[in-house]
Each structure stands twice: as C-alpha cells, then as structure tokens.
Amino acid sequence: MSPNETVTQTLTGNGLIFERTERPGGKVPWWWVRDERHVSKAQSQTYRHRETLKTYGCRWSKKRRSWYFIGADLPDEIAALAGPQDNTNAPVTQNDALVSDATATPRYSPRLTGSATAVRESYQQRVLRRFAEQFQADLERITRCPALPAVATIRLDDPWA
C-alpha cells in the first residue's frame, strides 16, 4: 500500500481479506482482494475463485500480488466469497439462554488455517504429526495386504547357514 492511501474498510473470511483503500481527495475507492497468508497457488483462495473475480470486473496486480476492483461498492458476488459477516456485537441468545460464539473445534487440530487465532506449529508438534501420518499410512498398508507366509531359504552348501 502506498503512503498516501488509507484503508477505510476491511472484510475477512474463508482465507480472504478484502480491503477498501482511498486516496485523500480521490474519486473512486479501490478494493483489494488477497489471501490472509502467503500460500502456494494450490492452496490459494484467490486462485480458486479467480474466474468469479474476473467475471465481476477484478484485475490482477502483479506488483501487490492481489486482485483489485475499482468501484464504490464491492459486488455482492465477490463479497459473498468471504462468507457471512456478523455485523452485530450483541450476544446470541436462544430460548433466553446465552449461546457461546465459539465454534466446536476438533480435539487435536494443530493446523488451524484461515482463522485469526491460528498458532504456528512447533518443531516437536510437526515431527509428531508427521510421525503419526506415516504410522497411519503404514498401518493402512499393512491391514490392506494380507500377511504373507514366512518362507526361509536355507542353502545347504553354505556351512554357516
């Protein structure tokens, strides 16, 4: 972002960030659409939705490595890529009982991608996760193939056999 631009509005969700930038005295604001984190092309949400972005008038900025849309309002189809936005700050109640805003998370979830509370995986966690994945793959391979009978070959001409 250049020093003479100001961010006036930000939407986040589904791994995407939508920023509205304006220049002082400028005519039309620009909307920038980018991924929350720098990821590979295969994991990029903007790459996944590139056809939708192109269809509704977004263009790619090679310098910023993000999509941009020039206009006062972002089209609803593009804003829908961020998912539903909760603009109310009131706590949610159901049958006069306060409902927790926290979503249920799996018991073991070291990779929390796409959330603001994502914690970087430590080296020990990464090694343990890789070991568990390899163990699971080996276990599936062993259970998929029936055990072969053990066959021993003894050479009679070898005195040390």
Residue type, 46: T
Tens of pLDDT, residue by residue over 107-161, are 444 444 444 444 677 888 888 888 888 888 888 877 776 665 555 556 667 666 5
Contact 5, 21 (CB under 8 A): yes
Residue 74's Cβ-count burial label (10 Å; 0-12, 13-18, 19+) is buried
Tens of pLDDT, residue by residue over 15-36, are 899 988 888 777 889 999 999 8
Listed in sequence order, the residues at least 6 apart from 1 whose beta carbon sits closer than 8 Å to its beta carbon are 7, 21
Instruction: Give whole-number Cα distances, 46 to 31, 59, 62, 117, in Å.
Output: 14, 12, 13, 21
* pLDDT in the model for residue 53: 93
pTM over 0.85: no
In this structure, the number of other CB atoms found within 10 A of the CB of residue 155 comes to 8
